[in-house]
């Protein structure tokens, strides 16, 4: 079975990222929910109160809550 993007991201960066998980992005102080991972092993996140997905690096200024 093929490994998922999220699983590869977790292994590569050693983070507890999972779909639906909550993050605090310390760069802008916003909290959001993880929707997926992209091909470049970055997180796709929808921040609270927004509808547009943002792409963030899984270790740069991110806290998993």
Q: What is the percent of the chain where pLDDT is above 90?
A: 89
**CB–CB of 52/45 below 8 Å?**
no
3: pLDDT confidence band, cut at 50, 70 and 90? Answer: confident
- Phi first, then psi: give them for residue 32, nearest 5 degrees: -160, 180
Query: Hey, what CATH topology would domain 5-64 get?
Result: SH3 type barrels. (2.30.30)
pLDDT of residue 40: 84
Q: Tens of pLDDT along 29-50? A: 999 999 999 988 999 999 999 9
**CA–CA separation, 55 vs 5, rounded Å?**
14
**CA–CA separation, 56 vs 3, rounded Å?**
21
pLDDT of residue 56: 97
């Amino acid at each position: 079975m093929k490994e998922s993007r999220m699983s590869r991201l977790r292994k590569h960066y050693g983070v507890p990222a999972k779909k639906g998980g909550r993050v605090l992005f310390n760069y802008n102080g916003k909290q959001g929910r993880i929707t997926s991972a992209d091909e470049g092993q970055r997180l796709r996140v929808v921040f609270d109160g927004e509808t547009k997905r943002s792409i963030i690096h899984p270790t740069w200024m991110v806290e998993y809550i």
